[in-house]
C-alpha cells in the first residue's frame, strides 16, 4: 500500500464517526485532517510517546482524537507504513473546547460513554488541566493575551511529568507576508466555526522559543506549512527528564 492509499484509508476511518454529527462536522473533519500536514507528521515522525494520557486544549469537535484512535486501530491490524513510527496508544483522550456547538458534535461522534474520549466545554485559561503525558494546542495560543499565554504554558508544564510532551503550532510574526496570510486564513476559519473575529496576540518565533525555554521546556521547532504560503511552525516542547 502506498503512503497516499494508507492516508486515504486512515482519513476514511478517522472521519466516518463524524457522520453522526451532521454534514458540517463530517466535511470539516475531512478537510482538516486531509488538508493539514501536521496530523500526518505527528504520526510519521513519532512525536508522541508510545502510550499516554492526552489533553487537547481548544480541541474543537475532537478531530485529533479520532485521528489517533483510527491510527491505533490500523496499526494493531497491521495496516501501517513500514517507515513510519509506531502509532501511539492513547490511554485517555481529554479535550477542552470553548464552543458548546463543537462539544455537542463531539458527543454525537464519540457517544456519551466512550471508554477513552472525554470532551468538555471550558476555557483553557481557567480550566484545571490535571495530569497528562501529552498536551496539545494547535493554532489557538494567539487568541489570548501575552500574560494569558504565559499562565497557560506554565500550567501545562506543571501538568506534565519529566519527559512529557507539549505540542503546539504558531505563526511566526516575523515572517512577513506568509504570516499575514496565516492570519487571514485563521480569521476565515474562526468566523466559519461561529466565533467572533478575534484580536490576535502573536509573537516572532524566537520570542515563542525563549518564552517556552524560560518556563522550563526543551523546544524543537519544525516548519509545518508544506507547500502553502504560510508561516506555520510546530513547536515540540519536552519537559527534561530528571537527572539521576
pLDDT tens per residue, range 166-213: 999 988 776 554 444 555 455 445 545 555 556 777 889 999 999 999
Is 92's pLDDT higher than 90? yes
Give the pLDDT confidence score for residue 133 in this predicted structure: 98
Give a yes or no: residue 101 inside a domain. Answer: yes
Instruction: Please report, rounded to a whole number, the percentage of residues in the chain having pLDDT higher than 90.
Output: 75
Give a yes or no: residue 158 inside a domain. Answer: yes
pLDDT confidence tier of residue 75, bands split at 50, 70 and 90? very high
Give the pLDDT confidence score for residue 244 in this predicted structure: 35
Opening angle at CA 97, ends 94 and 100, nearest 5? 125
Give a yes or no: residue 46 inside a domain. Answer: yes
Give the pLDDT confidence score for residue 228 in this predicted structure: 53
Q: If phi over 0 gives left and psi between -120 and 50 gives alpha, with beta otherwise, what is residue 227?
A: left
Contacts 24+ apart (CB under 8 A), 10-17: 10/67, 10/70, 10/71, 10/74, 13/70, 13/73, 13/74, 14/63, 14/66, 14/67, 14/69, 14/70, 14/71, 15/66, 17/66, 17/109, 17/110
Q: Per-residue pLDDT averaged across 82-111, rounded?
A: 97
**pTM recorded for the entire structure:** 0.89
**Are the beta carbons of 207 and 233 closer than 8 angstroms?**
no
**Are the beta carbons of 217 and 150 closer than 8 angstroms?**
no
Q: Which helix (H) or strand (E) holds 226?
A: none
Give a yes or no: residue 243 inside a domain. Answer: no
Among residues 115, 107, 132, the alpha carbon closest in space to that of 56 is found at 132
Residue 13, φ and ψ in degrees, nearest 5: -70, -35
- Extract the runs of DSSP E, i.e. beta strands, from the chain: 51-57, 89-97, 117-121, 134-138, 165-171, 218-223, 232-238
Give the pLDDT confidence score for residue 209 in this predicted structure: 96
Cell digits for 91?
490511554
What is the rounded distance in angstroms from the CA atom of residue 216 to the CA atom of residue 68? 27
Least confident of 61-70, 201-210, 226-235: 226-235
Give the pLDDT confidence score for residue 1 in this predicted structure: 77
- Structural domain range at position 131: 3-238
pLDDT digits 0-9 by tens, 35-56: 899 999 999 999 999 999 999 9
Domain count, the chain: 1
| More confidently predicted of 143 and 238 | 238
Q: What is the mean pLDDT of the chain?
A: 89
What is the rounded distance in angstroms from the CA atom of residue 32 to the CA atom of residue 11? 10
**Are the beta carbons of 143 and 99 closer than 8 angstroms?**
no
Q: Could you tell me the CATH number of the domain that includes residue 26?
A: 3.40.50.150
Dihedral sign computed on CA atoms, order 40, 45, 51, 57:
negative
Give a yes or no: residue 77 inside a domain. Answer: yes
Give a yes or no: residue 244 inside a domain. Answer: no
Give the pLDDT confidence score for residue 243 in this predicted structure: 40
What is the rounded distance in angstroms from the CA atom of residue 132 to the CA atom of residue 156? 9
Is 64's pLDDT higher than 80? yes
Amino acid at each position: 500500500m502506498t503512503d497516499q492509499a494508507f492516508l486515504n484509508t486512515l482519513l476514511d476511518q478517522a472521519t466516518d464517526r463524524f457522520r453522526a454529527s451532521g454534514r458540517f462536522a463530517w466535511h470539516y473533519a475531512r478537510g482538516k485532517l486531509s488538508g493539514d500536514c501536521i496530523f500526518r507528521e505527528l504520526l510519521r515522525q513519532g512525536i508522541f510517546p508510545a502510550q499516554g494520557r492526552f489533553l487537547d486544549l481548544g480541541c474543537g469537535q475532537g478531530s485529533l482524537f479520532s485521528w489517533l484512535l483510527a491510527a491505533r486501530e490500523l496499526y494493531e491490524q497491521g495496516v501501517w507504513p513500514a517507515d513510519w513510527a509506531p502509532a501511539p496508544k492513547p490511554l485517555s483522550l481529554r479535550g477542552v473546547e470553548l464552543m458548546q456547538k463543537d462539544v455537542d458534535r463531539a458527543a454525537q461522534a464519540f457517544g456519551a460513554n466512550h471508554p477513552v474520549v472525554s470532551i468538555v466545554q471550558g476555557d483553557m485559561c481557567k480550566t484545571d488541566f490535571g495530569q497528562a503525558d501529552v498536551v496539545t494546542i494547535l493554532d489557538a495560543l494567539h487568541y489570548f493575551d501575552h500574560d494569558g499565554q504565559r499562565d497557560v504554558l506554565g500550567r501545562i508544564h506543571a501538568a506534565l511529568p519529566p519527559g512529557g510532551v507539549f505540542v503546539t503550532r504558531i505563526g511566526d510574526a516575523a515572517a512577513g507576508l506568509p504570516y499575514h496570510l496565516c492570519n487571514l486564513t485563521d480569521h476565515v476559519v474562526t468566523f466559519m466555526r461561529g466565533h467572533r473575529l478575534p484580536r490576535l496576540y502573536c509573537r516572532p518565533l524566537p520570542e515563542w522559543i525563549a518564552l517556552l525555554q524560560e518556563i522550563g521546556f526543551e523546544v524543537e521547532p519544525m516548519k509545518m506549512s508544506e507547500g502553502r504560503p504560510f508561516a506555520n511552525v510546530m513547536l515540540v516542547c519536552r519537559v527534561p527528564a530528571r537527572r539521576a
